[in-house]
Structure 1
Amino acid sequence: MASTTILIKPETPSLLETVELSENDIVMPKSYTRFTVFYQHAARDAIEKLQTSLSTTLVSFPIVAGTMHFNAENGNISVTTNDRGVPFDVRTSSMTLESLKPFKHEEIPMDLSVTLDQALLWPLMVKITTFADGGIAVAVGMQHAIADGHSVFAFVKYWASICSMGHANGLPTPIHSRRILDPLRDARNVLQPPEFKLVDPAIVKYPSVLPAVRATMFHFSIESLARLKAEAASKSVGRFVSTQDALSALIWRCCVRAWVIPSDTQAKLGFACNGRNKTIPPQGDGYFGNSNWFPLPILDVSALTGPDGLSKAADMIRAEIEKINDDKIRDTSAWIHSIENKLHITYTFTASKRIGGADFTLTSWRFGMYDIQFFGERPMSVRQTGQLNWDGLATIFDAADGGTDVYIGLVAESMDKLEKDSEFIKFTS
């Protein structure tokens, strides 16, 4: 596979400044959000258009073309907007795009994703692959400390709009000020939030031998999601239940049941909630950065997996989401700010059965993936790339048919049970 790499810099010079990342940015995983968008056709000048439109886009997002600085002593992170550039890798493949159908996650070659170079800490990396039958793949990788999923997809949609139409009219104007969530704005409650704990990263240990994990994609149609929502709401305590609440409840309940955990064990569900419109004043939809705040539903396994567990779980999820408000967000920011060494901050919901716990994690990528139209056409597929086969992790995606795809990782014996769970499979297709 032939390849060339160049650095794409902003079309006009950026204002040179050092941006201190927010408290919310700092506690995000130091990983890359990676995905690849596949298109059936590409114009002859597709590579040139992608490069020039990216250069134009970087004028509105200078932070992703800068240089990251990670303080190894206290965990603080900053970015210098020095127009270092974005690595733009172009590869020519002898494969056909047709050969990748039906675009199963586990069958997407890793070399269609961006190649990580953590030592250089690029905020953003891009890889373009052209296929023998005229198809093209656009792969993106953005450092999570720079932006959450909402912001990553907002950036890519902005770039795609400039590429296909020459402008980004109608899309939110990027907001880059991290001080919107100033933790010192006023006196705050600095009690430790339940979703975080303090650990010494030097002494964190895991079992030396871990069971194998298997990951599988499940599809939920629009019709089955409607049935699921109705069933979850049927025994609700009167609280509003969204489709996402119901789907999250089903996944949590059935996966914990598949783990076969003692009934008196407390099960936690970790997931992120977008806080952009929950602050006073709102951060705004265009806020570029992380605004990920973590509700923490907790239920005994007996209640979660019992006869009315679907409704109980959906109610609990909605109740915890409703706790994410301006006070919660600012109190959490103030607590993070108060911790001298941010490297000691971690989450309380990451101990799956594989490492002796009962915690499950959900991440939702429902950001209108199929609205990314670089070449004036709808993508054939959008796929996350990278390590997804973690025990106790489910990733929720938009599906091409308007439904939802869910990629779930469980220890192998538990995945066998999930695939035979009558409640779970009656909603999948």
Structure 2
Amino acid sequence: MNQETITAVRQISKCSIKPHKVSEESKQPHYLTPWDLSFFNAQYIQKGLLFRKPLPSPEDPNPTITFIDRLKQSLSIALTHYYPLAGLMVTKKQDNPPFYGIYIDCSNDSVGAEFIHAAVDINMLDILTPIDVPRIVQSFFALEGAICHDGHTEPLLVVQVTELLDSIFVGCTFSHVLGDGTSYWKFFHAFAEISKKLRKAGKEAGDRHFDCSISCPPITKRWFTEGNGDPFLINLPFSQHTEFIERYKQPLLRERMFHFTAESLAKLKAKANEECATKHAQISSFQALSALVWRSITRARHFPPDRKTGCKFAINDRLRLNPPLSENYFGNCVQTVCGITTVGELLEHGNGWAAMLLHEAVKEHTDEKIRGLREEWMKKPRIYQMGPFFDPASVMMGSSPRFDVYGCDFGLGMAVAARSGFANKFDGKVTSYRGLTGIGSVMLEVCLPPESMSALESDEEFMDAVSPHEIHCQHILHMFD
């Protein structure tokens, strides 16, 4: 289907979903940590999954409506565990003595997450077969252009379920102030787990005998620096939000998915370690892949040799702390590490050299460094400004293939595809997903200006490592026949 002829997404209904139960803990203020507060200018996390539509049966002639009703019930139960997502952002300020703090209030009866039911007259193949991700996918998510600070007036979570002619897309718009990618997918898993449990039990959420427990309950207590273990409201060095709020304007970008098989990644890893002459395999598959992406995109940009370039990683700090934080810690516990060099040096050397830069950057991100950065922030609090953060000469590797995206089972079977919305897209943003075609495969979502994307598609070294789009689509469709 030609992209210009695609019918617009139409909204069928919208409602507010409140937690199924309210605990004493959820009535307390939810204080934000330095990691959380840094994300006020970031846009919401937007990720979702495409599923085949359930088929009608004599017992259930309208299974899609049944599924959507069950999702509303499931969301209510999920919010009992992830209650901050049903809250509202509040600013507390005073002049004498000066104080400016922001926290999440979950006690107001009027708060809740938003649930949208939408529809569009296209098929699953209209999403999967085009070379570029169709623009219509961005309409599968809510709050276009919103930044996290907008949580003062906008919901902190919006679930949008979009009916296609033959499939269903479940997408979440999730405040980055409340959690990182690990927190997002933990929530999504819990949401799916409850939905599947409800389907199996055949009960309404209001049934007092229904087991509302989940396998991995979130740890919502905030983690602060050692010596300040109890949560508290941080005093920010501002008197009004205009002093730190910035709205990033997205340039014209193409967005394309590239698939790498486990075999392709194994070759990249072996070659990178061979080039570095490492006695033991030190460079991971993902570091080798990131090095390839970094060098290939840099070639495509045609910058002068003396231009600085970097490859940034979003890195989970939970297990790097000593003692480590649980993977079930709900909040932001992520920072970026970066390999930096010049365009000339990067392109003069091979992938192994670039991968070793990344490997060393990751290796140096220790408990001591993490705590040092936290203490530094507490002395001089700062909010990320997205413009400078999105360096057009660098690459940002976001998300992680470690997230069990396709393990989210709502009772419709495994998802056919994972996609993201319009949020946090910029020149050089690369989002990684676990691949669908076997253990060890990886899918990358690459965002570049049209001329840079065309150059990347002509890069022999890069495309030799990529599984051809048509073959990948055929493989996916064969899996679900």
What is the correspondence of 1:277-426 to structure 2 with a 5 Å cutoff?
A: 277-306=319-348, 308-340=349-381, 342-343=382-383, 349-352=389-392, 358-366=393-401, 367-387=403-423, 390-402=426-438, 403-426=441-464
Matched residue type, 2:31:
E
Q: Distance in 1 between matches of 2:92 and 2:456?
A: 43
Q: Runs of 5+ in structure 1 lacking a partner? A: 186-199, 353-357
Matched residue type, 2:395:
F
Q: Which moved more, 1:388-397 or 1:286-295?
A: 388-397
Counterpart of 1:164 in structure 2 is: 196
Query: What is the identity percentage for the equivalent residue pairs of Structure 1 and Structure 2?
Result: 26
The 1:35–1:205 alpha-carbon spacing in structure 2 relative to 1, beyond 3 Å, is closer
Residue 19 of structure 2: SS of its match in structure 1? coil
Matched, 1:173 2:211: no
Cα distance, 1:31 vs structure 2:
0.9
Residue 296 of structure 1: SS of its match in structure 2? strand
What is the correspondence of 1:186-335 to structure 2 with a 5 Å cutoff?
A: 212-236=252-276, 238=278, 240-306=282-348, 308-335=349-376
What is the correspondence of 1:72-87 to structure 2 with a 5 Å cutoff?
A: 76-82=101-107, 84-87=111-114
Q: Distance in 1 between matches of 2:22 and 2:247?
A: 46
Cα distance, 1:304 vs structure 2:
1.2
Q: Distance in 1 between matches of 2:307 and 2:92?
A: 38
Counterpart of 1:125 in structure 2 is: 158
CA shift digits 1:238-289 (9 cap, x unpaired): 2611111011111111111222222233322222100111112111110111
TM-score, normalized by length of structure 1?
A: 0.85
> Is the CA contact 1:218–1:406 (under 8 Å) kept in the aligned structure 2?
yes
Matched residue type, 1:321:
V
RMSD of aligned residue pairs (Cα, Å): 3.0
Q: Distance in 1 between matches of 2:323 and 2:346?
A: 36
Matched, 1:106 2:139: no
Counterpart of 1:66 in structure 2 is: 87
> Is the CA contact 1:269–1:349 (under 8 Å) kept in the aligned structure 2?
no
Q: Distance in 1 between matches of 2:419 and 2:384?
A: 33
Cα distance, 1:211 vs structure 2:
8.0
> Is the CA contact 2:287–2:355 (under 8 Å) kept in the aligned structure 1?
yes
Counterpart of 1:35 in structure 2 is: 47
Matched, 1:14 2:26: no
Residue 399 of structure 2: SS of its match in structure 1? strand
Q: Runs of 5+ in structure 2 lacking a partner? A: 1-9, 55-62, 199-210, 230-241, 468-481
The 1:334–1:417 alpha-carbon spacing in structure 2 relative to 1, beyond 3 Å, is same
Cα distance, 1:102 vs structure 2:
3.1
Matched, 1:428 2:466: yes
Residue 269 of structure 1: SS of its match in structure 2? strand
TM-score, normalized by length of structure 2?
A: 0.76
Cα distance, 1:99 vs structure 2:
4.2
Residue 159 of structure 2: SS of its match in structure 1? strand
> Is the CA contact 1:24–1:291 (under 8 Å) kept in the aligned structure 2?
yes
Q: Which moved more, 1:11-20 or 1:110-119?
A: 110-119
Q: Distance in 2 between matches of 1:5 and 1:323?
A: 47
CA shift digits 1:392-415 (9 cap, x unpaired): 222222232232222222333332
Cα distance, 1:389 vs structure 2:
5.4
Counterpart of 2:232 in structure 1 is: none
Q: Distance in 2 between matches of 1:109 and 1:213?
A: 14
Residue 272 of structure 1: SS of its match in structure 2? strand
Query: How many positions carry a matched residue from both structures?
Result: 405
